[in-house]
Amino acid sequence: MLEIVTYFALPTHPVSCEKHGEGHVNRTYLVCLADGRRCILQRVSRTAFHDIPGLMENIAAVTKFLAARTTDPRASMHLIPTTDGRDFYVDRDGECWRMYDFIERSVCLQSPESPEDFYQSAVAFGSFQRMLREFPAETLHETIPDFHNTPDRYRKLHAALDADALGRAKDVRREIDFALAREKDAAALQTMRESGALPLRVTHNDTKLNNVMLDEKTHKALCVIDLDTVMPGLAAYDFGDSIRFGASTGAEDETDLDKVSLDLELYRTFAEGFVSACGGLTDAELDSLPLGAKLMTLECGVRFLTDYLEGDHYFAVHRPGHNLDRTRTQFKLVSDMERKWDDMCQIVRKAKEKTC
């Protein structure tokens, strides 16, 4: 790995390179240089991303755009160019590598240590969306077509079921039935997107709490990371994916489902931060936020289940049945949201009144 680093324009040589972070898709390393400087090295997944030059063009443009709007170097990511001035390096095997400055004195959380941490992530993702309102959205490449097109995710589940490549379907009938019972309602956001009832924004699309860096002392939000899926999308996607991950009382791969539920207080905290930081959301968008939470959770469960049926090619797994455990937490959360639906809608309405 250290050899890869030498293809990047760095002032000194690297002294160490260790695996870093909890991402399920790319491979991430923390690199220390001889002068004490630290950087992030990433191998971008070719399973997930089929147009890496386009993806890197998006990231270069978005990070430049954001960096030009702040004086704090820790408020946006900075790509380190290769020695020949490119944004990424392609090795002999065709793998694509990129480097960023490490955001010093920061932390990245897997679950909020306090409601304030979650509020800070809401402000970070809401501000990200607001700042990118001026960004020329038509110049962005669609890095994963149909990323949050839930009906399309169902089509892929059906294909995996039909193929049943590993014969796993018979063991997960309950999970399959849970998903299929909700299929007809799963198109609601996509339908509103296609009809124009919901406006397209530049969205992050992968708004897990661990995609925000907080200051290590104050826990104030510094910077949104993992920009691979920045694309035109709906506000409900970013709201929903944050709730799915951060407002759950259990980890995404918790095996004791009694520990998994929607924390309505965290949900309220996030709604208040997000609605006020985005600013200017239309009434239809505000009404779509609870649906975003439910559908992003259902969709993610469908994706984990599909990957399980296909043999775990997409998401990194660390134990047998890992994708199935993840599927189960997502579906448990969906059931809990169905129970708490009226409260979820009311909380968003109140958050809106608070910001008016």
Instruction: Single out the residue of 48, 55, 66, 309 in contact with ligand GN1 (rule: CB under 6 A).
Output: 48
* 207 scored as a contact of Mg ion (CB under 5 A): no
* Contact (Cβ atoms closer than 8 angstroms) between residue 307 and residue 323: yes
Closest distance of CB 303 from ligand GN1, Å:
7
**Which residue among 228, 263, 285, 307 contacts ligand GN1 (CB under 6 A)?**
228
* Residue 325 touches which of ligand GN1, Mg ion, none (Cβ within 5-8 Å per kind): none
> In a 10 Å sphere around its CB, with 0-12 CB exposed, 13-18 middle and 19+ buried, how is residue 130 labelled?
middle
Residue 206 within binding range of ligand GN1, rule CB under 6 A: yes
Binding flag, residue 293, ligand GN1 (CB under 6 A): no
Decide whether 10 or 103 has the Cβ nearer to ligand GN1.
Answer: 103
Largest CA distance in the chain: 57
**Does 126 help bind Mg ion (rule: CB under 5 A)?**
no
Secondary structure element (H or E) that encloses residue 297, with its range:
helix 283-310
Of 25, 32, 61, 90, which lies in the binding site for ligand GN1, with binding defined by CB under 6 A?
A: 25
Length of the chain: 356
According to CB under 5 A, which residues from 4 to 63 bind Mg ion? Answer: 23
CB 298 within 8 A of CB 186: yes
Q: Which contacts (CB < 8 Å, 24+ apart) does range 255-258 have?
A: 255/325, 257/328, 257/329, 257/332
What span, in angstroms and rounded, lies between the C-alpha atoms of 223 and 303? 27
By CB under 5 A, which span of 59-67, 157-165, 209-217, 335-343 interacts with Mg ion? 209-217
Out of 127, 190, 229, 288, the residue judged to bind ligand GN1 by CB under 6 A? 229
Asked if 208 touches ligand GN1 (CB under 6 A), the answer is yes
Closest contact distance (angstroms) between CB of 84 and ligand GN1 is 28
Which has the closest alpha carbon to 190: 241, 151, 153? Answer: 151
Partnered with residue 201 across adjacent β-strands are 233
Q: Of 211 and 248, which CB lies nearer to Mg ion in the complex structure?
A: 211
Kindly tell me which of 152 and 343 has the beta carbon lying closer to ligand GN1: 152
CA torsion, points 205, 207, 210, 211, in degrees to nearest 10?
60
Q: With contacts defined by CB under 5 A, name the span among 53-61, 226-234, 255-263, 335-343 that binds Mg ion.
A: 226-234
Q: Please state, in angstroms and rounded to a whole number, the distance separating the CA atoms of residues 292 and 74.
A: 30
Residue 24 partner contact from Mg ion, ligand GN1, none using kind-dependent CB cut-offs of 5 to 8 Å: ligand GN1
What gap in Å lies between CA 344 and CA 244, rounded to an integer? 13
**24 lies in the binding site for ligand GN1 (CB under 6 A):** yes
226 lies in the site for ligand GN1, by CB under 6 A? yes
Q: Which of 58, 63, 190, 211 binds Mg ion (CB under 5 A)?
A: 211
DSSP for 196-261 reads TSS--EEE-S---GGGEEEETTT--EEEE---TT-EEE-HHHHHHHHHHHHSBSS-TT-S-GGG--
Residue 333 as a binder of ligand GN1 (CB under 6 A): the answer is no
- Using rule CB under 6 A, residue 307 touches ligand GN1: no
User: Does position 272 bind ligand GN1 by CB under 6 A?
Assistant: no
Q: Which is nearer to ligand GN1, 25 or 60 (CB)?
A: 25
Pick the stretch among 33-41, 172-180, 226-234, 272-280 that binds ligand GN1 (CB under 6 A).
226-234
Taking CA atoms, 114 is separated from 184, 246, 259, 268, in Å, by: 37, 11, 18, 13
Stretch that binds ligand GN1, among 9-17, 70-78, 212-220, 221-229 (CB under 6 A): 221-229
Say whether residue 253 binds ligand GN1 (CB under 6 A): no
**What is 223-237 written as a DSSP string?**
EE---TT-EEE-HHH
Cβ count near 36 (within 10 Å): 8
- Residue ranges in contact with Mg ion by CB under 5 A: 23, 211, 226
- Residue ranges in contact with ligand GN1 by CB under 6 A: 23-25, 48, 206, 208, 211, 226, 228-229, 252, 300
